[in-house]
């Protein structure tokens, strides 16, 4: 199977059976994301203990890319330090936007999961679908709400 086929399969698996798809009744950080152009909505919850993302969860509705991206975010950033999480998140957004990025903080499995979205560089209109949950996660860490404003 080609890399593209593997990437498509990963997105489908995570969109149909997303990881950590639930709310946290008590959490230290939370933010909402909204992409009004396509209707994707996400709510990110995290509990930070001793500067570590002790648990990350999400709820939302959207396209397969949006849900898969949020699911993968919870897998990759869970149990990482806040500093490393911000770095990884910022570099994921750079990768999707076809900018220079660095995934040195990740193991091979995590890099492969994030590279699933590298094909979106060819489809800039879909990049917000993948990056919305990551931007929302950053907003949660900063205790802000995040709204994507997609410029057409």
Tell me, what's the pLDDT at 86? 96
Domain membership of residue 97 as a residue range: 3-141
Tell me, what's the pLDDT at 125? 83
Number of domain units in the chain: 1
Work out whether strand 52-61 and strand 40-49 pair parallel, antiparallel, or are unpaired. antiparallel
Residue 19 lies in a domain: yes
Tell me, what's the pLDDT at 74? 98
Q: What CATH number does residue 131 fall under?
A: 3.90.1010.10
Tell me, what's the pLDDT at 123? 85
Residue 115 lies in a domain: yes
Tell me, what's the pLDDT at 25? 85
Residue 147 lies in a domain: no
| Ranges of the chain with pLDDT below 50 | 1, 148-152
Residue 100 lies in a domain: yes
- Rounded CA-CA distance 141/63 in Å is 24
Tell me, what's the pLDDT at 146? 54
Residue 86 lies in a domain: yes
Tell me, what's the pLDDT at 93? 96
Tell me, what's the pLDDT at 151? 33
């Amino acid at each position: 199977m080609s890399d593209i086929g593997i990437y498509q399969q990963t997105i489908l698996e995570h969109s149909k059976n997303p990881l950590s798809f639930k709310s946290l009744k008590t959490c230290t950080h939370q933010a909402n994301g909204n992409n009004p152009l396509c209707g994707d909505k996400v709510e990110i919850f995290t509990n930070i203990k001793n500067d570590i993302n002790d648990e990350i969860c999400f709820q939302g509705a959207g396209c397969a890319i949006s849900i898969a991206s949020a699911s993968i975010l919870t897998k990759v950033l869970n149990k990482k330090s806040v500093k490393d999480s911000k770095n990884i998140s910022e570099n994921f957004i750079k990768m999707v936007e076809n900018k220079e990025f660095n995934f040195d903080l990740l193991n091979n499995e995590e890099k492969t999961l994030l590279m699933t979205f590298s094909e979106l560089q060819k489809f800039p209109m879909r990049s917000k679908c993948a990056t919305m949950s990551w931007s929302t996660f950053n907003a949660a860490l900063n205790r802000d709400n995040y709204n994507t404003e997609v410029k057409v």
